[in-house]
Every structure is written in C-alpha cells, then in structure tokens.
Amino acid sequence: MNTLLQRVYFGLVGLFLALPIIVVAGVSVNAKQDLAFPPKGFSLGWYGEIFANPEWRNALFASITLAALSAALALLIALPLAWFLWRRHAPWANVFQLLGIAPFTLPPVITALGLLTFWATTGFYGQPATAVISHAIFFVTLPLVTLSLGFSSIDRSLVEAAATMGADDRTVFRTVVLPLILPYLISGYAFAFVLSLNEYIVAYMTIGFTMETLPIKIFNALRYGYTPTMASVTILFVAIAAAIFGLVARFGDLPKLLGAMSSRD
Amino acid sequence: MRREAPQKLTDYAPLAFPAGMLIVFFVVPFATMIAVSFFRRDPAGFYSPDFVFDNYARFLSLFFGKVLGFSLFLAVAVAICCVVIALPFTYLLSRTKRRTQVLWLVALLSVLSLSEVIIGFAWSTLFSRTAGITNLLVMLGIMSEPVALNPSFGAVLTAMVYQALPYAVLVLYPALVRLDPTLTEAARTLGASPLKAFFTVVVPALRNTIVATLIMVFIFALGSYLLPQILGRPQHWTLSVLITDQAIYQSNMPFAAAMAVFLVLVTLGLVALTVYAGRKGEAA
Amino acid sequence: MSGLTLQNVTKQFGTFTAVRNVALTVPHGTFVCLLGPSGCGKTTLMRMVAGLDLPTEGEIRLDGKDITNVPTHKRDLGMVFQSLALFPHLTVGENIAYSLRIRGAGKDEQKKRVDELLSMIHLSGYADRPVAKLSGGQRQRVAIARALAISPKLFLLDEPLSALDAKLREAMQVELRQLQQRLGITTIVVTHDQREAMTMADTVVVMNGGEIRQAAPPVDIYRRPADTFVADFIGMTNLLDCKADGAGATVLGASIPGLVVPNGLASGIVSVRPEDVHLTAPGNAPITGTVIFIRDLGGTIETFVEAAGKQIVAVSVPNARPDVAVGQSVGIALDPADCVVLKS
C-alpha cells in the first residue's frame, strides 16, 4: 500500500477523531464562564471546579460509583454464563447469551424505556440501586463478549492436561482457567466502566429525577447553564479512559484482547 | 475436559444467577413494555391496564410514517458512511506495526468515552458560524465568508458517523487482523495492484463481518437520541426522540411503548431480511 | 502388579465407530506403541485410557481395579499431549510442580522434586524460566518431566515427538526408551511413525479402522506380519499373489516348493521383504524378470524388477550390489523360510 497515501488517510481519520476533543479542550480553558471557541483567555480553573463545586463533585462521585458497581455486577452476571457455555454442551443455554447481547444491541431508548416501565410498575422507581441494576443489564454484553473471546482462546488440551495431573473441575478453574481469563475479565470491566461513566439515557430514565450523574449534569448544563466545567469534565474523562486502556495495553496484550490471535512480534 | 451435557442438578448452578438476573431485569421489563403498549392512556397522566390497539393505530399516520422513514434512512446513511471509512482504516491498521496498532486502539477506546452530549456540543461548535470549521477555511482563504453548517442533515450525519466510528473499527478489527496476509500477497503475485487486491480479495473474504458491522451501526444509529436534537431541525428528529418525548414530557407511556415495540420489530425485521438475503446470495 | 487391561472396548461417535471391540493387555513396566495411520482410532483409544473420553462399551482395568468410569483426575497417570499443553501462565518449575501443588505438597517438597526432575531431563537451573522462552526440544522435555512428577502408574504420550525436527526426533526416541527402562514405568505411546514404534516399544500394536490388526514385539511384527495391512504398513514389502500347488505355491508364474499356504486355502498373498529377494543370473532361479529401475541411495541399493506383469523390489547393501543394468534379464530366488503367506 502506498505509504504516503496511507499516511494521509490515517492523518485525515486522526484529525476527524481529534477535532471534537480539540474543541472541548479549548472550551475548557476559557478564562471566564463562557463557552467560546477559540477560547477567550486561559484558565485551568475549570478543572478545579469539578472538585470544588459541590454539584459537579456529587455528580462525579455518583457517576464513578455507578460505573464501578454496575460494571462489577455486569461481570458477575457474565462470568458464570460465559463459563457455563464454554464448559457444558447445552445448546438451549445459548438463549441466555442472546439475552445477554440483546440489551446493548437494541436501541438504548428501548432498553431504557423497558426498565423505566418496570421500575415504575414495581414501585422502585427513582432509587439509586435501580440505576446500578439497569446499567449492569445494559452493559452485560461487554464482559460477555470479551469473556466469550477469552474462553474460546483457551487451549482445551491445557484443561485436559490439568485433569490428567489430578485437578478436579474447581481446581482447574482456579489454577488454569481463571489466570488465563483474567485479562479478559479486566478488559470487560474496563469497557463497561468507561461506557457507564458516559451513559446518558438509561441513567436519565431510571434516576434522572432524583440524582444527577455527570452525563445528565452535562446535558442540563448545555440546556440551562453554560459552564466550561462540562468541557473540563469531559477532558478529564477522556484522560481517565486513555489512562485505563493505556494500563491495560501496557500490562496486557491489547490487540489479543480485542480479538487478534497471539502476537508474533 | 470433555464438553458434555450437564449431568447433575448442581451442574446447572452457575447458570442460576445470570439467568435469573437477565430474566427478571430484561425479559420482564421488556414484556412489561409490550404489555403497557396495549394499555389505555389516562389523560391525567398515567395509564390503566387494558388491551387496546389505540396506541398502535395512532402512529400508523402519515406523520409518524415520515418520521420512521427518516429514521431508517438516516440509520442506513450512517451505517454506510461509517463502514466505508472504517473498513480501509481498520485494514491498514491491522497491517501496521504492533506499537502503532496499540496506540491507535487506545486512542479509539478513549474516544468511546465521549458522551453523546459532548459529541453533539463539540460538533455544533465546529459547524457554527462564529467558531467553527468555516472560520478556519475563511482564514486559509478557501472560503469568502463563514457559514453555519448546522442545524442540518449533514451535521447530524457527521456527528453520528463520528460516534459510531470507534465501534465499527473495534468490530472489524478481529476479523481483519486474523485475515491471512498471504491471501493479498498471492493476489499481488497474480498481477493485482494493492487496491485491486483489497477489493477483490479482502472485501469478499470478509463479507459476513462487513454485513454484521453494517447491521450493528444501523441499529446503533437507529437508537440515537441526542444528536438529532442538538444538530438537527425537527424534521431531522428520529423515532427515538419521539419515543422519549412521549414517555417523559407528554407522559404518554402506552404510546411511547407502542412506538418502541414497533421500532424493535422493524429493526429485527430488517436484520432478518438482510441475513436472509445474504444467505440466499451465498447459495446462489 | 498386573498392568493395564482393555476388554471389548468400543467407542462410537454417533454413527461412526472409532474403536471397535478392542482387547489389549499391557503388562506392568512394559513399553507399548499404538501404531497406525491417521483415523485408525489410536488416539481415541488412548483418550479412553486417560478418561478424557468414555467408552461406549467395554471395560478398562488397571492393576485389577475397574477404572472405566473413574474421572480423569482420579486416575493415577501422567500424560504428554501432542501440543504439549504447557501452561503459558506458569514458569518451567511451576509447570512441573503443578500436580504436587494441587495435591497439597509443601514448597520445599515441590522444589526438591522439581530440581530432581530438571536434572533428569538435563535442564537444571531452568526452574524460573517462562515456558515461552524454550526451544521445541526443551518444551518437550518439560512436558515429560511434568507428567512424571508424581511417579504415576501409567505414562501416556500422544504423538509426543511429531513437532520436532527429524534429527531431534531420532535422539528423543532413544532418550524416551532409556528413560522408561530406567524408571520401569508402564508406558503407552501413540504414533504414526513406524520407525519410532520399532525403536521404542516392547510391543507394537498396529491398528487400522478402529481395530487391532496385530500386537507383537517389533521383530515379530516385521518378520511375521498378521495380515497384508500390517505387512505393508511396516517397512517395505513385496505383496504377491500365490496359488497353492502340489509342491508348494506358485508365485509370479513359477512354483516355489516348500511355500505353504496356511489353513488349507487355495490361494493367498505372499509377503517377502526386499532384503530377502535374491537376484541371480536368469535361469538360476524359478522366476525370471527384467530390471526396470535401479535406485542407488548410497547406503542401500534398490533394484526394481518386472516379472509376470508385476513389480518386485530387491534391496541390497553396497558390497553385495547385484551386477545388473536396466533392461537386463535377471533371476529371482525366494527362500520359503523368508516368505509369509497371508490371507487375501
């Protein structure tokens, strides 16, 4: 492939991807409470505002808690299911895999609406736990997909070898399967965590009236109260995501986690 | 270990929690939504259990037909644009050095962390008359006068393609990176230029993945709720916007539910049609 | 101790029968090779001995105890897989110590045994090395050490040397045999390479189509094959039709007195090894033929002769080279003692 052409193409795509981030970064350093771009003046104060302003701080805290808990719950649902499908020959159980993939592949507003009617009917509407469960179900697809990929990459002869050496099912899981699955567990969690941090509509429909997560607060800020804090928060989140995935790449085999075969370099 | 069918009752144990969670918190809500779509709307704001088709009848009107048509058209446009950009990009990416791949993958995953609101806000700025791309072009002398590029269909399309692009790349990546490199090498020894090799070898070999990606982006775009509102005019609003509007602001849950069910059916129908057409094409 | 016994063992996958009614006895301390072409059922048979697949019918006993339905991890065995199956997330030492670790052995005991085994396989000091950094031959030896860590009753190896290059493979065959002799452990190896089987085994079990064709010591397999499949599979042989006549049997148009067709059958197939085909001047022997090709391989010379419309090969060493050229007439002498008559 013509290297120059390739470089130009990559450059264009890179520019396309970067433009909005550049805009948001620019807005975040406005000196005054103004969403001007190019920015008027320069101030990093809006980054501090995230933690200083109680409203933003609470929203940040709410988002991080929601993300941490719902990603964990999603993992707890996905792991036994993925393991069962790999270990046992049970074609009928694939229906649960379909159910696991459905919430994420359907338009989010559908899942959000379904959960809204459910919580309203059962009377739990508005309670914070509903958001954790809703997000967990919505994002269970992510660890499910990464774990399926992970399990399918386990060489079955490793499991057989362990059995010939005296390991029963539980021991095999503990000493062979789990260590090999760990990177996929982590990447599934990271995915769900990052996406939950920025998810708007499911959170809005379940607890939008009682609590504010960051995406909800940003949307409200856009409508009712312009402030560069929403830009600084976004840049912060992009940085967090980059850090998380950077760590995964540093300590793990990112291409393999995303579906490549074992690296040959 | 041989992969045998579950023998004892305890073998089913791991399935209990996931199955329970999924049934209680996904199947039941979904079923509830279907049930609610048949309820009677109470003008006071809530709804009473009933079984009427009023809600479905209401949107088989011309207005909602137009909205549905537009939603589908927009979703198809986003899917095609997205895959056309993502496919060559991912293909070239999969052939680069490992280090380059990792850098780009981390970058794409970080872009995933941008919420729809921010994407909408950023692009509305980029398309504005006072602080956007056109200002840059005027500065470079390419344009004479800055112009507002939004609200417009193009703005909505661009932003939605932007939002879906990382997903498309991540879905195409496994298939492209596992593609046997000797296939294209063989094509080149047989006289095909790299471009020709791409179109005659890579694309056909990955037909299924490409179709799957198109479907995935299509469904993703169909569900877009914020971007059409931020970057488009009311005529650009999709079905998802209307559904949320009815559910939250008009307090008309049954109607919203009916539209949601309809949207799911249309989506599943289109997906099934595409898969069926694909199978027939293969058999031919 | 009695060893391993298989009785009426059959394995069916749906309508396909992979192993059919196999009966086999492996005395304690012997080395058995399951030999045959791909798809003959040898690996399936081994997997049933290991408990990785269950027989559809039949019984497997180890030292008198019925282990047919005992789960793999309770059978006292060590197995080396074709892919070696070394745990990528553990070091060399951790791999070898695995079976000890899960049985609750202490760290000191583990280290002692690992060091012992590492010195046995000539890899002392490699305990902390990651598995990925080893060469093919080294990984092979680690897999063997790992399987033997708890001194199991049964040592199973599934095509253990197939991933090695030719020279290394030859060396490993000898090493494996010597190891087994030293430890006195009952060993079963699955292989498709007859040289390997002949080198290592006390008993060679030739299989085809899910059945055992012959189980005998290597020399007997070679000199007294039980049927045409075994005769043809092991080494080179000439298979010629023969008909019983008064004095003996007729082969290639000439009568060979003293050649007996067993079981009173009227005809059969003679198997005669190329080194037992003696070429002389035409007229000095009952069969006459024409030389059509000579293959001089340096260490051996193969002479291809056409007689009575069939091809027969004679093999000789350089200092007994037949003085013939292509196109020449030649006499073929067969000693009945060197011929085996088999059922057609």
For residue B58, give the CATH number of its domain. Answer: 1.10.3720.10
Predicted confidence (pLDDT) at residue C150 exceeds the cutoff of 80: yes
Average pLDDT (A97-103) is 80
Average pLDDT (C319-332) is 87
Q: C44, C81, C144: best mutation site toward chain A, by most A Cβ within 10 Å?
A: C81
Compute the distance between CA of residue A184 and CA of residue A252 in angstroms, rounded to an integer: 10
For residue C47, what is the nearest residue in chain B, using CA coordinates? B2
Average pLDDT over chain A, rounded to an integer: 83
| C88–A166 CB contact, under 8 Å | no
Residues of A in contact with B23 (CB under 8 A): 99
Average pLDDT (C310-326) is 87
B25 inside domain: no
Confidence (pLDDT) at B282: 57
C interface residues, A as partner, C-beta within 8 Å: 50-52, 71-75, 77-79, 81-83, 85, 87-89, 98-99, 101-103, 146-147, 149-150, 156
Burial class of C255 by CB neighbour count within 10 A (0 to 12, 13 to 18, 19+): middle
Top-ranked range on mean pLDDT: pick from A50-54, B54-58, B179-183, B190-194: A50-54
For residue A179, what is the nearest residue in chain C, using CA coordinates? C89
- Is the CB of B222 inside 8 Å of chain A's CB atoms? yes
Confidence (pLDDT) at A265: 34
**Candidates C72, C89, C103; nearest CB to A163:** C72
- How many helices (H) and strands (E) are present in chain C, helices listed first? 8, 20
B179 inside domain: yes
Q: What is the CA radius of gyration of chain B?
A: 24
Instruction: Tell me, yes or no, if the two domains C3-230 and C237-342 fold the same way.
Output: no
For residue B222, what is the nearest residue in chain A, using CA coordinates? A107
Res. B284 pLDDT band, cuts 50 70 90: very low
Contact C91, C128 (CB under 8 A): yes
Confidence (pLDDT) at B55: 67
What letters, b where the CB count within 10 A reaches 16 and e where it falls short, cover C170-180?
eebbebbbebb
Looking at chain A, list the stretches that DSSP marks H as alpha helix, in order from N- to C-terminal side: 3-28, 45-52, 54-87, 94-105, 108-122, 128-139, 141-152, 156-164, 169-172, 178-197, 201-207, 214-224, 229-251, 254-257
For C69-73, the CB contacts below 8 A with 24+ separation are: C71/A163, C71/A168, C72/A160, C72/A163, C72/A164, C72/B1, C73/A162, C73/A163, C73/A164, C73/A165, C73/A166, C73/A167, C73/A168, C73/A171
For residue C156, what is the nearest residue in chain A, using CA coordinates? A164
| A238–B110 CB contact, under 8 Å | yes
Domain at C3-230: CATH code: 3.40.50.300
- Cβ-Cβ pairs closer than 8 A, B with C, add up to 5
Top-ranked range on mean pLDDT: pick from A19-33, B23-37, B80-94, C274-288: B80-94
| Cα dihedral A122, A123, A126, A132 sign | negative
For B117, the domain range is 47-283
B171 inside domain: yes
| B174–A258 CB contact, under 8 Å | yes
DSSP track, C90-126: SBHHHHHHHHHHHTT--HHHHHHHHHHHHHHTT-TT-
Q: Is the ipTM of this complex over 0.85?
A: no
Among candidates C218, C219, C234, C173, which has minimal Cα distance to C37? C234
Average pLDDT (B56-75) is 79
Pick the more confident residue, C263 or B168.
B168
- Is the CB of B2 inside 8 Å of chain C's CB atoms? yes
B242 inside domain: yes
Neighbours of chain C (3+ CB pairs under 8 A): A, B
B245 inside domain: yes
The CA distance from C155 to the nearest CA of chain A, in Å, is 10
DSSP track, chain B: -------SGGGGHHHHHHHHHHIIIIIHHHHHHHHHTTSEEPTTS-EE----SHHHHHHSSHHHHHHHHHHHHHHHHHHHHHHHHHHHHHHHHHHS-HHHHHHHHHHHHHHTTS-HHHHHHHHHHHTSTTTSHHHHHHHTTS-SS-----SSHHHHHHHHHHHHHHHHHHHHHHHHHTS-HHHHHHHHHTT--HHHHIIIIIHHHTHHHHHHHHHHHHHHHHT--SHHHHHS-GGG--HHHHHHIIIIIS--HHHHHHHHHHHHHHHHHHHHHHHHHHHHHHH-
Average pLDDT (A29-40) is 73
| C99–A165 CB contact, under 8 Å | yes
B32 inside domain: no
**Candidates C79, C82, C101; nearest CB to A164:** C79
| A164–C146 CB contact, under 8 Å | no
Comparing A8-22, A106-120, B67-81, C148-162, the range with the smallest average pLDDT is A106-120
Confidence (pLDDT) at A219: 80
B30 inside domain: no
**Candidates A157, A175, A179; nearest CB to C85:** A157
Average pLDDT (A188-214) is 84
C interface residues, B as partner, C-beta within 8 Å: 52-54, 72
| A261–B248 CB contact, under 8 Å | no
The CA distance from A109 to the nearest CA of chain B, in Å, is 6
Comparing B265-274, C80-89, C149-158, the range with the smallest average pLDDT is B265-274
Give chain A's domains with CATH numbers. Answer: 1-43 (no CATH), 54-257 (1.10.3720.10)
Average pLDDT (C60-65) is 90
Q: What is the CA radius of gyration of chain C?
A: 25
Confidence (pLDDT) at A262: 57
Confidence (pLDDT) at C302: 92
| A118–B25 CB contact, under 8 Å | yes
Confidence (pLDDT) at A264: 39
Domain extents in chain C: 3-230, 237-342
Comparing B205-209, C109-113, C276-280, the range with the smallest average pLDDT is B205-209
| DSSP assignment letter at A177 | I
Predicted confidence (pLDDT) at residue B277 exceeds the cutoff of 80: no
| B194–A136 CB contact, under 8 Å | no
The CA distance from C302 to the nearest CA of chain B, in Å, is 41
Comparing C92-96, C132-136, C211-215, the range with the smallest average pLDDT is C132-136
In DSSP terms, C290 is beta-bridged to C306, C329
Which residues have C-beta within 8 Å of that of residue B86, sequence separation ≥ 6?
A: B165, B168, B169, B172, B213
Confidence (pLDDT) at A227: 78
CATH 2.60.40.10 fits C237-342, yes or no: no
Residues of B in contact with C72 (CB under 8 A): 1
Percent of all residues in chain C with a pLDDT value above 90, rounded to a whole number:
48
**Strand C186-191, strand C31-35: pairing:** parallel
B42 inside domain: no
Average pLDDT (B216-227) is 85
Confidence (pLDDT) at A258: 78
Average pLDDT over chain C, rounded to an integer: 89
**Candidates A158, A164, A171; nearest CB to C72:** A164
What domain count does chain B have? Answer: 1
Compute the distance between CA of residue C231 and CA of residue C238 in angstroms, rounded to an integer: 9
| A107–B19 CB contact, under 8 Å | no
Average pLDDT (B134-142) is 74
For residue B35, what is the nearest residue in chain A, using CA coordinates? A117
- Cβ-Cβ pairs closer than 8 A, A with B, add up to 251
Neighbours of chain B (3+ CB pairs under 8 A): A, C
Comparing A222-226, B99-103, B236-240, the range with the smallest average pLDDT is A222-226
